[in-house]
């Protein structure tokens, strides 16, 4: 089945630094990628939708300049958390629609801790 | 847009009992309803899904029912086992549309 590879799985960074998270579709072309944030014991909160070759669409309340999304190729989408602060600590996870556009394949998630 | 309500938020059962999780949705055009299981710190995994032209689907101990008129769908797990303990999410979407997830149900199966 469709596989989305997400890296890194865990990252600890200092306040003020930037962190890049990559999601790569391994055996299919993902023209769309969804980026979610998940707090402990909470649901998946959609942050933005990235589309290959065009600007990402951000959900209300999500800072575009803080969460930079790039979808430069059909197999790679990246989320960069800029000038990270402790409140950005969370579980970030990407998801891509499968070939039939009904199901969704999730990356393995990235646990970000900002100290 | 779509709104998905999921209940209960926590469900505690004894091993061997059945567990039922219910979801309602608002967009009558939604036609795809997946269920995901998420273990702590891991990615959500699709466990079963149903499309709107089907009323019920079964896969071993797991079944999903859909009532399009009432706009609700349910996940049924029979003969629960400790390894079923996880957070379960329902979702609703239309083809090529962004899925809307429920808030999740934390299922605890006591041995």
pLDDT in tens, B60-106: 999 999 999 999 999 999 999 999 999 999 999 886 678 889 999 99
Q: How many residue pairs bridge chain A and chain B with CB atoms within 8 Å of each other?
A: 46
Where is B10: in which H helix or E strand? strand B10-14
* Residues in A touching B87 (Cβ below 8 Å): 41
Scored b (16 or more CB within 10 A) or e, A19-50 reads bebbbbbeebebbbbbbbbbeeeebbebbbbb
Beta bridge partners of B72: B24, B67
* pLDDT exceeds 80 at position A102: no
**Could you tell me if B53 lies within 8 Å of chain A, comparing CB atoms?**
no
Q: Are B89 and A44 in contact (CB under 8 A)?
A: yes
Interface test with B, best of A5, A47, A106 (most B CBs within 10 A): A106
Tokens of A68: 């930079």
Q: Decide if pLDDT at A30 tops 90.
A: no
Chain A residues at the B interface, defined by Cβ less than 8 Å, are 34, 41-44, 46, 49, 91, 93, 97, 100-104, 106-109, 111
DSSP 8-state code for residue B68:
T
Q: Three-state SS across chain A? A: CCCEEEECCEEEECCCCCEEEEEEECCCCCCEEEEEEECCCCCEEEEEEEECCCCCEECCCCCCCCEEEEEEECCEEEEEECCCCHHHCEEEEEEEECCCCCCEEECCCEEEEEC
C-alpha distance from A109 to closest chain B C-alpha (Å): 6
Q: Is the pLDDT of residue A101 over 60?
A: no
**What does the pLDDT read at residue B99?**
85
Query: What is the sign of the dihedral through the CA atoms of B78, B58, A38 and A59?
Result: negative
Using a CB-CB distance cutoff of 8 angstroms, which residues of chain A are in contact with residue B88?
none
- A43 vs B32, B89, B93: nearest CB: B89
SS3 B47: strand
Predicted confidence band of residue A43 (pLDDT cuts 50, 70, 90): confident
Closest CA–CA distance from residue A52 to any residue of chain B (Å): 15
Alpha-carbon span B89 to A76, nearest angstrom: 26
């Amino acid at each position: 089945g469709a596989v989305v590879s997400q890296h890194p799985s865990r990252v600890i960074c200092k306040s003020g630094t930037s962190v890049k998270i990559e999601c790569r579709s391994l055996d299919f072309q993902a023209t769309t990628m969804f980026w979610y944030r998940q707090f402990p014991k909470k649901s998946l909160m959609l942050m933005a939708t990235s589309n290959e070759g065009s600007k990402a669409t951000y959900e209300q309340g999500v800072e575009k300049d803080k969460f930079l999304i790039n979808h430069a190729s059909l197999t790679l989408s990246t989320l960069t958390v800029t000038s990270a602060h402790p409140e950005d600590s969370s579980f970030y996870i990407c998801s891509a629609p499968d070939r039939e556009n009904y199901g969704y394949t999730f990356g393995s998630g990235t646990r970000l801790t900002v100290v | 847009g779509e709104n998905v309500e999921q209940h209960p938020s926590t469900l505690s059962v004894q091993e061997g009992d059945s567990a039922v999780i219910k979801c309602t949705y608002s967009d009558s055009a939604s036609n795809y309803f997946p269920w995901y299981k998420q273990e702590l710190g891991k990615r959500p995994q699709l466990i079963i899904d149903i499309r709107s032209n089907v009323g019920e689907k079964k896969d071993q101990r797991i079944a999903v029912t859909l009532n399009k008129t009432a706009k609700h769908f349910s996940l049924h797990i029979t003969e629960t086992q400790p390894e079923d303990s996880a957070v379960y999410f329902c979702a609703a979407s239309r083809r090529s549309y962004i899925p809307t997830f429920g808030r999740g149900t934390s299922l605890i199966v006591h041995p």
